[in-house]
Structure 1
Amino acid sequence: MMDFTSISDRGLVLLGCGKMGGAMLKGWLAKGLAPMSVSVVDPNPAPWLADTGVSVNGALPSDPAVIVVAVKPQMMAEAMPGQTGYGGGRTLFVSIAAGTRIATFEKMLGEGTPIVRAMPNTPAAIGRGITAIVGNAVASEAQVSLAEQLLAAVGQTVRLESEDQMDAVTAVSGSGPAYVFHLIETLAAAGEAEGLPAELALELARTTVAGAGALAMEAEEDPGQLRVNVTSPNGTTAAALEVLMDETRGFPALLKEAVHRAAERGRELGRQ
């Protein structure tokens, strides 16, 4: 059970309850957060919210402990004006809005507002995500720890040394699930090209990637050693890795360029 004392006393406001906001809410409730402590603000609330006991689009607490901003960046201008009155006080703002820098919130809410910026990823929807967080200068250790607890409801959390690392995090773990999904797609297509039925090729690819990921998490060896363990000299895996590990056209070059482009795009969005 998590320590939700401050939230129980003062309340939590969740702005946006889509896939990520909904996953977090379900995690909080499962870990013991009292439904009456939560106020959800969403223009199109999902039907399942009616069965949770949380307040939906009702009156908000006067001094909430936390406001979690889980709206899309393009909806920020519509969602945030109603919350500016909470700025500069005791309320902690936790944002999972991609590409929206802490400075943007400080302009809207005041520099005296405690803010934690977070970058989760889509496996959070099944409680297997990883979220990187960083607080501004005003956020206390207790507030950053509270944000960490809230985000731990959907997976692991890591703290960053500075916000400058967030674009690289976005490129690796935020966008990373899409890279893995594309690997599954292309691995299945390659299997089909070698004569496997499409459904069988997809099942083999999907289960192999999932199993390898689980092994990488649980094994004592690092991924490099796990790769060596699977690779017999002059065998089938070695033949494939000659292609995949090629420094000019294999994974090393492709992923380095892909992650760099994603990080650069994140920096561009942060300047807009």
Structure 2
Amino acid sequence: MSGTQSRLPASLTLVGAGKMGGAMLSGWLAGGLDPARTAIVEPAPSPEIAELCAARGLALNPAAPPAAEAVVLAIKPQGLAAAAPALAPLIAPGSLVVSILAGKTIADLKARLPGARAVVRAMPNLPASIGRGATGAAASPEVTPAQRGLADALLSASGLVEWLDDEGLIDAVTAVSGSGPAYVFLLAEALAEAGVAAGLSAEIAGRLARATVAGSGALLDAEATEAAQLRRNVTSPGGTTAAALDVLMRADGMPALLREAVAAAKRRAGELAG
């Protein structure tokens, strides 16, 4: 952050309060966002969002949302074109626009929302819904250090934030952390299936695989040690883990497959941004 202090915006309009938008909103409120100066634009609010707005005094679908210091776009990306005419009046001169719309570039957002100048494009991932997310973010040249601080505070309420100097790297972020939870869930799924093939019941194998993946992730988070060293720490020469890793780390094994998978995801992200 180059010494810039992060703070939540004094006023905010959230456009889209689905699963991700709603989770981010909960984190902001817990972090001190002023409910009285927060507006939610969500045509089909869930009962949970409607209840939250009523309980905390947030304006839900106001007729004319007031100008806000920050406008966060969390609608479905494919809905941007249709929603743009209604969104444009929400963006005041000087507003910071933070977009988590996958595949929508800063140039695309500026073209559809002519008032948007200071724009931050971000790619969060699913664990943001429990405050353990990983987000990559890139800012347009118009974003001031103070506005970057606002964006950092908004995004870091959901977990780790990595700032990118090149917006083009968002596609790589999408391929690594944006899609990454699915890779981890597949690992748990495949490990459970392998346990069944080894003779365990589906129930026991599923519980063991789930706890192993979750526990290993927690250990990785708790330790400053690099992942490669943690792997070596649990691998005794000539032991059972070493035998398994001989298979997983062969030339066509897990590292090669993940490189291929990430490359495919990055390529598809670029195609979708089109």
What TM-score does the superposition give when structure 2 sets the normalisation length?
0.93
Q: Structure 1 residue 98 and structure 2 residue 102: aligned?
A: yes
Q: Residues 67-90 of structure 1, C-alpha deviation per residue, up to 9 Å, x if partnerless?
A: 100011111122221122355721
- Tell me what 2:163 maps to: 159
Aligned mates of 1:111, 1:16 — CA distance in 2: 19
User: Conserved in 2, the CA contact under 8 Å of 1:130 and 1:173?
Assistant: yes
What TM-score does the superposition give when structure 1 sets the normalisation length?
0.93
Identify if the C-alpha distance between structure 1 residues 12 and 88 changes in structure 2 by more than 3 Å, giving closer, same or farther: closer
Aligned mates of 2:90, 2:223 — CA distance in 1: 46
User: Conserved in 2, the CA contact under 8 Å of 1:88 and 1:109?
Assistant: no
Q: Structure 1 residue 269 and structure 2 residue 269: aligned?
A: no
Q: Secondary structure at the match of 1:233?
A: coil
1:132 aligned to which of 131, 136, 153: 136
Structure 1 unaligned segments of length 5 or more: list them. Answer: none
Aligned mates of 1:146, 1:34 — CA distance in 2: 14
- Tell me what 2:230 maps to: 226
- Tell me what 1:257 maps to: 260
- Tell me what 1:13 maps to: 13
User: Conserved in 1, the CA contact under 8 Å of 2:193 and 2:205?
Assistant: yes
User: Conserved in 1, the CA contact under 8 Å of 2:73 and 2:98?
Assistant: yes
Q: Structure 1 residue 39 and structure 2 residue 39: aligned?
A: yes
Q: Residues 170-203 of structure 1, C-alpha deviation per residue, up to 9 Å, x if partnerless?
A: 0000000000000000000000111111111111
Q: Structure 1 residue 175 and structure 2 residue 171: aligned?
A: no
User: Conserved in 1, the CA contact under 8 Å of 2:70 and 2:97?
Assistant: yes
Aligned mates of 1:61, 1:88 — CA distance in 2: 11
- Tell me what 1:202 maps to: 206
Larger mean CA deviation between 51-60 and 260-269 belongs to 51-60
Aligned length in residues: 265
User: Conserved in 1, the CA contact under 8 Å of 2:16 and 2:75?
Assistant: yes
Q: Secondary structure at the match of 2:134?
A: strand
1:213 aligned to which of 194, 217, 240: 217
RMSD of equivalent CA atoms: 1.5
What does 1:235-250 correspond to in 2, within 5 Å?
A: 235-247=239-251, 249-250=252-253
Instruction: In structure 1, give the amino acid aligned to 2:17.
Output: C
- Tell me what 2:3 maps to: none
- Offset at residue 23 of structure 1 (A): 0.2
User: Conserved in 1, the CA contact under 8 Å of 2:124 and 2:135?
Assistant: yes
- Tell me what 1:145 maps to: 149
- Tell me what 2:193 maps to: 189
Q: Secondary structure at the match of 1:80?
A: helix
Structure 2 unaligned segments of length 5 or more: list them. Answer: 1-5
User: Conserved in 1, the CA contact under 8 Å of 2:7 and 2:149?
Assistant: no
Q: Secondary structure at the match of 2:157?
A: helix
- Offset at residue 153 of structure 1 (A): 1.3
Larger mean CA deviation between 46-55 and 20-29 belongs to 46-55
Q: Residues 18-46 of structure 1, C-alpha deviation per residue, up to 9 Å, x if partnerless?
A: 11000001111111112121111111101
Identity of aligned residues (%): 51
Aligned mates of 2:26, 2:197 — CA distance in 1: 42
Aligned mates of 1:44, 1:109 — CA distance in 2: 22
Instruction: In structure 2, give the amino acid aligned to 1:83.
Output: L
